Amino acid sequence: MALRLGDTVPNFTQDSSEGTINFYDWAGDSWVILFSHPKDFTPVCTTELGTVAKLKPEFDKRNVKVLALSVDDVNSHTGWIGDIEETQSTKLNYPILADPDRKVSDLYDMIHPNANNTLTVRSVFVIDPQKKLRLTFTYPASTGRNFDEILRVVDSLQLTDDHSVATPANWTDGGDCVVVPSISTEDAKKKFPKGVTELKPYLRMTPQPNK
């Protein structure tokens, strides 16, 4: 059964390029980005793994751990990591799960038979510290993932968890936010001292409250 937003994601214990990982223990109280790859030694995924390695300081600042998955074994991963580091000019600084038995792929519904009945699709799962699924992306094999967008989503989720706002289209950190409908304009003006602009009774904007 497919995971849906708000579901508690399943735990698993699986080998990785950095040793055996029990997912819940490894995640701890961090957010997690779990992202899957069809198999090792694929060109688009090689660029993605290198990009995430370079962005890891940005994920660290947001209390996010990153975890890749590919259906090949640890020995294969070791060879691939060498290629990634050589071609992407970076050190791989996070683990790649080995999933030759497809255990995690099946748990997280990463195999879509109409796309390919043996290989994982290229999925992204954003998981919060309570192990709740907060967002999913699924990309075709031909399109590399936009990890700046994934960072933007994490910024939005963390902001909106802590403040009574939502983020509008194309929002980036520091931009104006939407006041959630459950707060009256009168209460919003008290709650958001930077000001509230009422465009419509249901559409109120306020500067980002934590900036």
Which tokens is 37 given? 């790859």
Catalytic, 177? Answer no
Query: Active-site residue among 21, 27, 32, 45?
Result: 45
Which tokens is 205 given? 């904007």
**Axis-axis angle for helices 43-61, 74-88 (nearest 10):** 80
**CA dist., res. 145 & res. 59, Å (int):** 16
Active site residues: 45
